[in-house]
């Protein structure tokens, strides 16, 4: 299988406080990352994932909040039954 090609990068210039730069550089050193840019890419990826998880959670909450009272209890019972069908680690 051929190696995965990296997506093209856009070169941008940002002004950051000295403290922010020190923080990014310390993360680069601690993670032994290739560059400060790669650390920043990782921070952005993590933030995007966190926002997506919040969106999914809000969507699930909205769904269950919209269910009639009896339906939520029925779904909960089915979920508990399904969980009981998996072997437990002891």
Which tens digits make up the pLDDT trace of 8-54? 889 999 999 999 999 999 999 999 999 999 999 999 999 999 999 99
- What DSSP character marks residue 85? T
What is the reported pLDDT for 76?
85
Bin 10: left if φ > 0, else alpha if -120 < ψ < 50, else beta: beta
d(CA 34, CA 32): 7
């Amino acid at each position: 299988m051929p190696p995965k090609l990296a997506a093209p990068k856009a070169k941008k210039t940002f002004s950051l406080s000295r403290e922010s730069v020190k923080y990014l550089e310390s993360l680069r050193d601690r993670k032994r990352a290739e560059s400060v840019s790669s650390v920043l890419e990782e921070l952005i990826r993590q933030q995007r994932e966190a926002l997506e998880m919040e969106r999914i959670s809000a969507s699930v909450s909205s769904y269950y909040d919209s269910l009639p009272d009896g339906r939520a209890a029925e779904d909960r019972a089915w979920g508990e039954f399904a969980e009981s069908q998996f072997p437990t680690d002891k």
